[in-house]
Amino acid sequence: MEEKEKVETAYDSSAIQVLEGLEAVRKRPGMYIGTTSERGLHHLVWEIVDNAIDEALAGFCTHIEVIIGKDNTITVRDNGRGIPVDIHPKTGKSTVETVYTVLHAGGKFGGGGYKVSGGLHGVGASVVNALSKWLEVRVYKNGNVYFQKYVNGGKPQDTLKVIDQCSSERTGTSVTFLPDEEIFTDTTVFNYETLRIRLRELAFLNKGLRISLEDEREADKKDSFCYEGGIREYVLMLNQNKTAIHPTIIDINGKEKDISLEVALQYNESYNSSIYSFVNNITTPEGGTHEDGVRRALTRILNKYAVSNGILKNNDDPLTGDDVREGLTMIISIKHPNPQFEEIVKFEVFLIAFFQSHLNDS
């Protein structure tokens, strides 16, 4: 009897801890998703999609589908390996439940800096769960369909259960959630266009990955994006209504250790520049050192080329950074497993050398 009481107390306290964790998100949602406006509402989708993208980056997922339901629910499905269903050693619960109910430390809007990659631990899923009226997860794995539902800000209705069988070849994860209107007081209505633009961008940034969007609120409203050419096709699209001054898009990419760099660029006849840079698929609007690095490298290389080909004479002023930017459409995409600020600064040195050697070759 005493033994049983002890066990129950231990279970209760751990359960309370978990609830407190998600309660913290509901108390201060801004710390976790920045804002509870329409933008914050859409942020929920990106938190979930990020997890599926990580599975694609790991090489196990080729298709991600996003569906806006009639009732303004969101479903995100992938054909990856499926979130592990075994018992997580730290929590004593299934990994699925752990991903959805244990708050991972460090609100990314509180601490500043970059998001630490979701990687294996589904960062963000628990935040979405906390801010949802209900959330259902289905995992297709081992010929089974596993299911769990959470209600009222992330409270599990039951443990993870097998509810059906499926083909043993089928694997993947499917998540459906209804944002809580008590949290998202401005609006709980998803905007198709907002989702379409960002999902298309994610498809450009992750070449070969198919990303589909469907709106069940309107008949035949759907899009599907897959770009074998990646960011090269992004530049092509950005320049489609402009006159390019060279026919082929310059495309540079490479990998060193775990860091990959892709740059695609093309000049057009306009005076404007469109330069977009991304670290781990996240846009870095102020550019950051990686963008400066690429621009500096490009300036050096074009000056070197101009001098050695007699375009610039010894007495001419060298091209400035602004000269080089004129008419430039460029996408920079870096994928870095641990994108700390210092790492990026060190990375700039490598980046300039890398960019320079590739431009020298071409």
Interface residue with ligand TSJ among 51, 101, 280, 303 (CB under 6 A) is 51
* 83/102 with CB nearer ligand TSJ: 83
Interface residue with ligand TSJ among 45, 68, 74, 76 (CB under 6 A) is 76
Structure tokens at 79: 């054909």
Interface residue with ligand TSJ among 36, 98, 148, 173 (CB under 6 A) is 173
Q: Is 293 in the site for ligand TSJ (CB under 6 A)?
A: no
Q: Is 87 in the site for ligand TSJ (CB under 6 A)?
A: no
- What residue type is 139 in one-letter code? V
Q: Specify the stretch interacting with ligand TSJ by CB under 6 A; choose among 66-74, 80-88, 294-302, 332-340.
A: 80-88
Dihedral through CA 73, CA 74, CA 79, CA 84, nearest 10? -80
Q: Is 78 in the site for ligand TSJ (CB under 6 A)?
A: yes
Shortest distance, CB of residue 173 to ligand TSJ, whole angstroms? 4
Q: Is 125 in the site for ligand TSJ (CB under 6 A)?
A: yes
Q: For ligand TSJ, which residue has the nearest CB?
A: 122
Shortest distance, CB of residue 97 to ligand TSJ, whole angstroms? 11
Shortest distance, CB of residue 136 to ligand TSJ, whole angstroms? 11
* 57/265 with CB nearer ligand TSJ: 57
Q: Is 80 in the site for ligand TSJ (CB under 6 A)?
A: yes
CA neighbor of 53 nearest in space, from 233, 220, 225, 190: 225
Q: Is 179 in the site for ligand TSJ (CB under 6 A)?
A: no
Q: Is 84 in the site for ligand TSJ (CB under 6 A)?
A: yes
Q: Is 131 in the site for ligand TSJ (CB under 6 A)?
A: no
Q: Is 33 in the site for ligand TSJ (CB under 6 A)?
A: no
* 136/233 with CB nearer ligand TSJ: 136
- Name every residue whose Cβ is closer than 8 Å to that of residue 257 and which is 6 or more positions away in sequence: none
Shortest distance, CB of residue 63 to ligand TSJ, whole angstroms? 11
Q: How many chain residues bind ligand TSJ (CB under 6 A)?
A: 17
* 50/251 with CB nearer ligand TSJ: 50
- Name every residue whose Cβ is closer than 8 Å to that of residue 303 and which is 6 or more positions away in sequence: 312, 318, 319
Interface residue with ligand TSJ among 52, 135, 249, 297 (CB under 6 A) is 52
Shortest distance, CB of residue 61 to ligand TSJ, whole angstroms? 6
Q: Is 154 in the site for ligand TSJ (CB under 6 A)?
A: no
124: left (phi over 0), alpha (psi -120 to 50) or beta: left
Strands 259-267, 250-256: pairing is antiparallel
Interface residue with ligand TSJ among 57, 145, 175, 359 (CB under 6 A) is 175
Q: Is 63 in the site for ligand TSJ (CB under 6 A)?
A: no
Give the interface with ligand TSJ as residue ranges (CB under 6 A). 48, 51-52, 55, 76, 78, 80-84, 99, 120, 122, 125, 173, 175
